[in-house]
Structure 1
Amino acid sequence: MNIKAIAFDTGGTVLDWHSGVCQVFSEIGTSHGLDRDWHVVTNDYRRLAMQGIVGQVKPPFNMDDIHRCCLVQVLADHGLQAFTSEERSRVADAWHNLSAWPDFPMALSQMRSRYPVVSFTMLPLALVVNVSRRNCVIWDAVISCEMIATYKPHPQAYMRAASWMNLKPSEILMVACHNFDLNAARECGFRTAFVRRPQEWGPQGPPDPTPHPDCDIVVDNFVALARCLLEQ
């Protein structure tokens, strides 16, 4: 596989969004004496946010805006109107304070020793900067769909990212734990690697855990991905 760079989906693939956001929901809810299945609340929040951003072209908002907007509906749906405006901001800000999956930072450093590594994400640039600094993650570049003004899985997002990297799509390995992202990248000519993240959606498990058979690489963790790429 003649690749010259690696592009990583970041929300979910690199970041443990469920644990971080669920913990904040639980802490605030408990302080109000509220008893909910916070895993369900968190997943409903994520699902609604994704519905609001995927495939958008030149939207007048970014993912941070979507997180704030969707939070209002999620709190109403689950009877959590007791959350104060300050607490609502705390939930929305939780996305900027997420932890990376433990196997990622060291493996990324190893892969970066041979290949340029890029965060190619629907998350806002400011969010990726914040979480990357928090987790000691060093990218060669961050390409946010916010910058392209076209959101994955729209083909234009992938083609523009490849153009900005001055590479053919076939020279880029797209890494994600989501088939919708990898399938779209593959249709644009990218090589693809599926990394399993069985805890991405908490105890419920991911909605689409089985990798598409056309993936070039399928691994259980980032350590295995680094080993696979460095042994080539």
Structure 2
Amino acid sequence: MDIQALAFDTGGTVLDWHRGMVAALKSIGTRHGMSADWHAVANHWRRQSMKGIVGQVQPEFQMDDVHRQALDETLAHFDLDAVTPEERVVVWRAWHSLDAWPDFPGALAALQKWRPVVSFTMLPTSLVVDVSRKNGLTWDAIISCEMIGVYKPHAQAYATAAKWLNLQPAQILMVACHNFDLNAAHAAGFRTAFIRRPREWGPQGPPDPNPNMTYDLIEDGFDGLVRSLRA
């Protein structure tokens, strides 16, 4: 493979959103003496957020806005309306302080010695900046679909990312734990690497835990990705 850059999906592949959202929701719920299946609440919030952003073209909003609206819908769905407006802001802003999966920072440093590494994400630019600073992640570039105005898995998002990197799509390795992202990247001419993230959605497991097509690389984690690319 003639790989000249690596593009990483960030929410889920790099960031442990489920654990962060469960902690934020549970903390607020405890203040009110509320009990709930916080894993189910977090996953519903995530599903509603993805429905609101995936494939959007020139929307007048970005994913922070979608997260905020989906939070209100989720709290109502689970009869958690006692959460105050101020507390909702605290929970919503928890997206900006997520932890990276433990195997990513070291892999990022190792891969950057070989090729440029880019965050290519549907998350807002400011969110990626905040979580990167928190986790000590230094990307060669951040390409948010917010900048492009077209959201994955729309083909234009991938074409624009390749254009901005001044590379042919086949020179970019798209790394993700989500089939929909990698399938679209493959269709756009990118090389693809599937990273399994069995704990992305907590105890119930992710909706698409296994590759649904033949990708260039399939790894159980980022350490395996580094070994395969070095080989």
In the alignment, does 2:36 pair up with 1:58? Answer: no
In the alignment, does 2:27 pair up with 1:27? Answer: yes
Q: Indicate the residue corresponding to 2:220 in structure 1.
A: 220
Identify the range of structure 1 (222-231 vs 171-180) with the bigger mean alpha-carbon deviation: 222-231
Q: Indicate the residue corresponding to 1:123 in structure 2.
A: 123
Aligned-partner SS, 1:193: strand
Distance 1:211 1:7 in 2: 18
Runs (4+) off by over 3 Å: none
Q: Indicate the residue corresponding to 1:143 in structure 2.
A: 143
Distance 1:110 1:77 in 2: 44
Unaligned runs of 5+ in 2: none
Deviations 1:187-227 (A, max 9, x none): 00000000000000000100001113320000001011011
Q: Across the two proteins, how many residue pairs are aligned to each other? A: 231
Distance 1:48 1:85 in 2: 19
Q: Indicate the residue corresponding to 2:73 in structure 1.
A: 73
Q: Indicate the residue corresponding to 2:132 in structure 1.
A: 132
Deviations 1:76-105 (A, max 9, x none): 000111101111001110100000000000
Which amino acid counterpart does residue 131 of structure 1 have in structure 2? V
Distance 2:119 2:230 in 1: 19
Distance 2:178 2:71 in 1: 23
Unaligned runs of 5+ in 1: none
Considering only aligned residues, what root-mean-square deviation do their CA atoms show, in Å?
Answer: 0.5
Which amino acid counterpart does residue 45 of structure 2 have in structure 1? Y
Which amino acid counterpart does residue 74 of structure 1 have in structure 2? T
Distance 2:213 2:78 in 1: 38
Distance 2:218 2:211 in 1: 7
In the alignment, does 2:71 pair up with 1:89? Answer: no
Q: Indicate the residue corresponding to 1:12 in structure 2.
A: 12
Distance 2:104 2:208 in 1: 21
Which amino acid counterpart does residue 108 of structure 2 have in structure 1? L
Aligned-partner SS, 1:50: helix
TM-score by length of 2: 0.99
Percent identity between the two aligned chains:
61
TM-score by length of 1: 0.99
